[in-house]
Amino acid sequence: MDTEEMFNLKSRTTYLAEAIESTKAMIEANRAMTEALRRKLEINERRIGEINQILNC
């Protein structure tokens, strides 16, 4: 393998490593957002239940 091929391989490897780290960060952000939305949904479901109880009285 000559110098240019090694440089190209290193460049591609670096690019892929950065892409993997970026993807990991996006996955973690999506997990956090999913959890926040799950909590918000639970709150809204409780509120709907409370409103239904008031309306059914």
- Taking the C-alpha atoms of residue 28 and residue 14, their distance in angstroms, rounded to an integer, is 21
Phi, psi for 2 (deg, rounded to 5): -85, 175
- Taking the C-alpha atoms of residue 56 and residue 26, their distance in angstroms, rounded to an integer, is 44
The tens digit of pLDDT for each residue in 15-34 reads 999 999 999 999 999 999 99
Sequence spans of domains, the chain: 1-57
Mean pLDDT of 39-43: 99
Q: What's the 3-state SS for 1-57?
A: CCHHHHHHHHHHHHHHHHHHHHHHHHHHHHHHHHHHHHHHHHHHHHHHHHHHHHHHC
